[in-house]
Amino acid sequence: MKIDVVTIFPEYLAPLQLSLLGKAQDQGILDINVHDLRSKAIDNHHAVDDTPYGGGAGMVMLPEIWGQALDPLMNQDSDLIILTPAGKRFDQSMAAKFSQVSHLVFACGRYEGIDDRVRMHYEENNYRVHEVSIGDYVLGGGEVAALVMIEAITRLIPGVLGNPQSLEQESHNDEGYLEYPNFTKPAQWRDLQVPEVLLSGNHKEIEKWRAEQAAERAKKNR
């Protein structure tokens, strides 16, 4: 999968080089490139934003600069993701859908967002455009949201995870994130014992116990 990220803070995306994502790039499974939006700035001050028409607080990012940054990246295979708290809420099923595509372009807005004609332009020209939010809270910009999405999406791509069995286990329930609790050595820690059933070797009983625990957790936390 090819991933392009456009931002005025390329350094924010440095973690993409670490850990499993870094390895997947070395292996050629992922091709991730981060682009500095400010390099497309036109005026002497390298401005990327201006005041909103109609008044109001904050600044809006300039459409021409976004157009210059996105035009060379977009093609028929591209899905453009515009990060905004007003977008559709990101979840595991959206991650699964995006893990199937060949090219993702992330547009990280700052301030009061990107001039809406950028979305309109690419939609009108028949590109696939998605406004996405990672949750109902307001971040300083889309960079952290892009990191979250890229991690959740790419770990579903074959070869990215160190141990693909982890994925298989997650997909046993519809919502992979509602997992049962886990324990490791030692069997007793402080005054706490690992549940007896997990030491029993009875795989049927273990599976049943884990399903119950996952359901209980979901009831308590969701």
By CB under 6 A, name the binding residues for ligand ADE.
Answer: 83-85, 133-135, 137-139, 141-142, 145
Shortest reach from residue 79's CB to ligand ADE, in Å: 16
119 or 210: CB nearest ligand ADE:
119
Residues with Cβ within 8 Å of residue 6, at least 6 apart in sequence: 35, 37, 66, 69, 70, 73, 105, 106, 107, 108
10 or 25: CB nearest ligand ADE:
10
* Burial bucket for residue 139 (CB in 10 Å: 0-12, 13-18, 19+): middle
Shortest reach from residue 21's CB to ligand ADE, in Å: 19
Shortest reach from residue 138's CB to ligand ADE, in Å: 5
Hey, what are 178's tokens?
């509602």
If you search the block for the tokens 């091709």, which residue do you land on? 31
Shortest reach from residue 139's CB to ligand ADE, in Å: 4
94 or 198: CB nearest ligand ADE:
94
10 or 85: CB nearest ligand ADE:
85
If you search the block for the tokens 């890229």, which residue do you land on? 150
